[in-house]
Structure 1
Amino acid sequence: MSRISRQRLDRIDRDLLDLDRDVLLFVQSLRLVSGNQLRRRFWPEDESAARAARRALSRLVAWRVLDRTDGRRGGVRAGSEGFVYVVGAAGHRLLSRIGFDGKRAGVPGERYVAHALAISEAVVLLHEAQATGALDLIEVQTEPTCWRPFLGLMGAPVVLKPDLFLRLGAGRVDEDRWFVEIDRATEAVGTIAAKLKRYRQHYRSGEEQRREGVYPRVIWAVPDVRRAGVLSSAIDRLDGETKRIHVVTTHEALVPLLTSEAHA
Structure 2
Amino acid sequence: MRSSRSSSSQVDRLRRRLSERDVSLLGALHRVRLLNLRQVQRLLVVDGSPAARTRRTQLWMARLTKLGVVVRFSRTIGGIRAGSSGYIYGLSGLGQSVLDVRGPAGGRRRRVWETKPYFQDHMLAVAELYVQTVEQHREGGADLLAFDAEPSAWRHFTGTGGELVLVKPDAYVRLGTSALERSAFIEVDMTTEGLPTIQKKNARYVDYWQSGVEQQRHGVFPKVVWLVQNERRQEHITDLVKKLATEVQALFVVGLLTVGAQLLSGRTSEKEANTA
Same fold (TM over 0.5): yes
Runs of at least 5 residues in structure 2 that lack an aligned partner in the other structure: 104-108, 271-276
Between 11-20 and 40-49, report the one with greater CA deviation.
40-49
CA displacement at 1:187 relative to structure 2: 0.4
Indicate the SS of the match to 2:258.
Answer: coil
Give CA deviations for 1:51-108 in whole Å, capped at 9, x if unaligned.
332222111100110011111112334343310001123213323xx24232324630
Give CA deviations for 1:115-145 in whole Å, capped at 9, x if unaligned.
0000001110111111111222221111111
Equivalent residue, structure 1, for 2:249: 243
Tell me the C-alpha RMSD between the 2 structures.
Answer: 2.1
Query: Equivalent of 1:38, from 31, 37, 40?
Result: 40
Cα 1:140–1:202 change in 2 (3 A) is same
Indicate the SS of the match to 1:117.
Answer: helix
CA displacement at 1:260 relative to structure 2: 2.7
Cα 1:113–1:216 change in 2 (3 A) is same
Equivalent residue, structure 2, for 1:147: 154
Percent identity over the alignment is: 31
The amino acid across from 1:38 in the alignment is V
Equivalent residue, structure 1, for 2:274: none
CA contact (8 A) 2:73 2:89 kept: yes
Equivalent residue, structure 2, for 1:12: 14
Indicate the SS of the match to 1:243.
Answer: helix
Query: Equivalent of 2:73, from 69, 74, 81?
Result: 69
Query: Equivalent of 2:170, from 146, 163, 175?
Result: 163
Query: Equivalent of 2:191, from 174, 185, 199?
Result: 185
Between 217-226 and 49-58, report the one with greater CA deviation.
49-58
Equivalent residue, structure 1, for 2:137: 130
Matched, 1:56 2:60: yes
Runs of at least 5 residues in structure 1 that lack an aligned partner in the other structure: none
Between 115-124 and 238-247, report the one with greater CA deviation.
238-247
Equivalent residue, structure 1, for 2:94: 90
Give CA deviations for 1:187-239 in whole Å, capped at 9, x if unaligned.
00111011011101100100001111111111111111110111011111111
Q: What CA distance in whole angstroms lies between the structure 2 residues aligned with 1:131 and 1:45?
A: 13
Cα 1:106–1:79 change in 2 (3 A) is closer
The amino acid across from 1:54 in the alignment is Q
Q: What CA distance in whole angstroms lies between the structure 2 residues aligned with 1:223 and 1:152?
A: 32
Q: What CA distance in whole angstroms lies between the structure 2 residues aligned with 1:21 and 1:150?
A: 35
Indicate the SS of the match to 1:179.
Answer: strand
CA displacement at 1:251 relative to structure 2: 1.2
The amino acid across from 2:27 in the alignment is L
CA contact (8 A) 2:36 2:124 kept: yes
CA contact (8 A) 1:167 1:178 kept: yes
The amino acid across from 1:40 in the alignment is R
The amino acid across from 2:84 in the alignment is S
The amino acid across from 2:254 in the alignment is V
Between 69-78 and 210-219, report the one with greater CA deviation.
69-78
